[in-house]
Amino acid sequence: MREGNKFEVLYPGLNPLGCDKEKTIVERYSEDFEVKKQEVDTDKIELSIYPSPEHPKTFQDVTFYVTITNDNDKEISGKCTVYIALPEGTGRYSKDVIVPASSSKTFEIAKVRYGKPGTYGYGGVFKFGQFEVSASGSVTVSQDSSGSSGSLKIKQVTFEPSLPKVQDNVKVRVKVSNSYSSKKTVKVELVVDGKTVNQVDGVVSGGKEREFILSWTPTGAGEYGWIVYLYEKSANNVYLKKDSKSGRIEVTRINSPFSVRLYAYPTELEGGGEVTFLVKVWNYGNDRVSLKGFVSDGDGAIVKNINWTGVPANAQNYTVTTFTLTVYGVGEHKYKLFLDNYDGKPNGKGEEHWSEVRVEVKPWQASLKLECDGKVILGKDDVDDLDCTLYLFRTNPSDSVQVKISEIYVGGAKVWPSNFEGIIVSKEVLKVTPYDPDDETHIELTIDENFAEFYFGIDPLFPWHSYVDKLATDRPWEIVLHFENAPPISATFRILKNSGISPEDVVEYGGSGTFIATEILERAGYITTEATGLGKVAVVGSKLFGYVGLLFFLTDIVEEAYFYGCKQPRDSDNDGFVG
């Protein structure tokens, strides 16, 4: 309460003596003071922030301006701070400002560039005394289509020497490519076992490659893990990570008798494909050396056994063996080489050496689709065509992707490339670009007696026998396309006989055994039959005349039974498809 210039300060509920009864203590004091009128009206101060240009493109200079309006009749001063969201993080920019009475002040607060398209926010605050005003907004950045798109990539990392010894001065050569049309300032960093050992920077011209050389001196023997990072210097003087490559390298003792190295080509795949591995040996001794060991995958499974007895004395970069593997599955695949001069087992006996290589499978920037006829009908002439179309669709608007067909299998048999002439492939290479978003190729396979003979092979016991009826089976057939740089793709189809009647339809006339025996006699021309119910066969006539007729009859019985029992379309992987 107030009495003139006196105040009573009340403390309700305070019980300092710990009594059961609550009391209120009243203290009185007096003071003379003067109430000052507020000199600045915050409602008359306005802050605005805006970019120029209003609708920028990527890599274009964008200037941010600030306007502070002061409609008070007194000057104000304070600090203006603006926060701008950028692809690499948030930028903070500040400036001390004095705004005269009844006026506005506009000034530049920051100049930035956006390396990626998108919508980015910004905001700021102007603090003066104990007061502040704020403002915020956003800017939409579009992609500059005038050649500013591209990428920075590490194309290759090589170590010299490739098998260093302790205290060697190792040169690490890093090849960097710049697919942008303009030059880029980059930094290359070498990290070994988690520690940065060297870094260099420089400029890579637009559309060019440049090699950077870093150095490293190993201090001990053993395996080291290394990573090379590539950074781009952004328009805002911040280094942004653009690419990296990693691996492992073995450093041998100064007096080591030999060294080994596992190589893989290529080490990067899109979607998967075939990889060639090379096992190399350096023999530092004056005698031939015998080596045993293996190459294993990331799960520890052995993919190649090695037993080599002939590495010549003082041989350098000697190729012990090469082999190929098909690598699929997006991610990093590790392969390890082990060799020793004792028993080929990592048990600490003999001189043991390891080497590791990694193969990275990247997601495909395109998709494949195979469409084929659902069925092939062998009619009166026992011939029909299987028509297939393979489509390649681009999934990333800025990428170009190419795929090449390497092999085509039908029912488990390789029909292309092969000596089978009944297949036509309109083109084996498909390509999509930012200007051509999809591509296709057509495959035509003629299913007839020639295909049947190619598939089954002509039997020397019965070279005159017709094979085409054997193609009609109750299981679907599978056509599989393999590529040089993509996972295989497949489709299924049916082969039907006589206007689409499948073997199941025919067997419905009787038990399968009855049908087979009856068909044998009918094909031989000795009887005619008529279906009178399930599993019943009525013999209408006979042409068995004399010993010659009986001999032909028995020959045909043997021939038909042989081909029914022995010549069957193959299902090698038991997946329910012929193939």
Q: How confident is the model at residue 578 (pLDDT cuts 50, 70, 90)?
A: low
Whether 240 contacts 230, CB under 8 Å: no
Domain annotation for the chain: domains and CATH numbers: 42-141 (2.60.40.10), 150-256 (2.60.40.10), 259-363 (2.60.40.3880), 366-566 (2.60.40.10)
pLDDT value for 269: 83
Average pLDDT value for residue range 444-458: 89
43: left (phi over 0), alpha (psi -120 to 50) or beta: alpha
List, in order, residues 6 or more apart from 426 with CB less than 8 Å away.
441, 442, 443
Per-residue pLDDT averaged across 187-207, rounded?
94
> 477 to each of 396, 474, 497, 531, how far by Cα in Å?
34, 9, 14, 30
pLDDT of residue 117: 86
pLDDT score at 275 = 92
Compute the distance between CA of residue 509 and CA of residue 523 in angstroms, rounded to an integer.
17
Q: Over the stretch 271-293, which tens digit does the pLDDT of each residue have?
A: 778 899 999 999 988 999 999 99
How do strand 384-394 and strand 222-233 relate by DSSP bridges? Answer: unpaired
Task: Compute the distance between CA of residue 190 and CA of residue 215 in angstroms, rounded to an integer.
Answer: 9
How many residues are recorded in the chain?
579
Q: Is the dihedral of CA 15, 17, 22, 25 positive or negative?
A: negative
Beta strand pairing status for 331-340 and 352-362? antiparallel
More confident residue, 90 or 115: 90
Top pLDDT among 415 and 576 is at 415
Stretch 266-274: mean pLDDT, rounded?
A: 83
Name the least confident of 23-27, 67-71, 332-336, 352-356: 23-27
Q: How many CB atoms lie within 10 A of CB 72?
A: 16
- Cβ-based burial of 354 (10 A; exposed 0-12, middle 13-18, buried ≥19): middle
Interval 431-447 mean pLDDT: 87
Task: Find the range with the poorest average confidence among 279-283, 308-312, 523-527.
Answer: 523-527
Give the percent of the chain with pLDDT over 70.
76
Tokens of 463: 């070279």
pLDDT of 221 higher than 80? yes
Could you give phi then psi for residue 60, rounded to 5 degrees?
Answer: -95, 140
Among 422, 407, 429, CA closest to 579: 407
Give residue 87's pLDDT: 83
Q: What is the DSSP letter of 72?
A: S
Sign of CA dihedral 565, 373, 506, 446: negative
Task: Give the alpha-carbon dihedral of 222, 158, 256, 312, to 10 degrees.
Answer: 140
* Mean pLDDT over each residue of the chain, to the nearest integer: 80
Q: What is the pLDDT of residues 136-192, one digit of tens each?
A: 999 999 877 655 567 899 999 999 988 898 999 999 999 999 988 888 999 999 999
Residue 500 has pLDDT above 80, yes or no: no
Residue 560: per-residue pLDDT: 53
Whether 9 has a pLDDT exceeding 80, the answer reads: no
In this predicted model, which residue has the larger pLDDT, 147 or 98? 98
Provide the 10 A C-beta neighbour count for residue 526: 20
pLDDT of 71 strictly over 70: yes
Q: Give percent of the chain with pLDDT exceeding 90.
A: 46
Tell me: pLDDT of 480 over 90. Answer: yes
Is residue 129 predicted with pLDDT exceeding 60?
A: yes
CA nearest 489: which of 437, 451, 443?
A: 443
CA dist., res. 500 & res. 496, Å (int): 5
Query: Quick one: pLDDT at residue 460?
Result: 58
More confident position, 568 or 318: 318
Model-level pTM?
Answer: 0.47
The sheet with strand 352-362 has its strands ordered as 268-270, 352-362, 331-340, 289-297, 302-311
Least confident of 109-113, 124-128, 336-340, 394-398: 394-398
pLDDT band at 60 (very low <50, low <70, confident <90, very high): confident
What distance in Å separates the CA atoms of residue 180 and residue 147, rounded to the nearest whole number? 7
> What residues contact residue 16 under an 8 Å CB cut-off, 6+ apart?
25
Q: Which of 132-141, 234-243, 539-548 has the highest mean pLDDT?
A: 132-141
Statement: residue 368 has pLDDT above 80: yes
What is the helix (H) or strand (E) element at residue 416, kind and residue range? strand 413-416
Lowest model confidence (mean pLDDT) among 338-352, 385-399, 473-487, 540-554: 540-554
Sign of torsion, CA 106 107 109 111?
positive
Over the Cα atoms of the chain, what is R_g?
Answer: 41
| pLDDT at res. 579 | 55
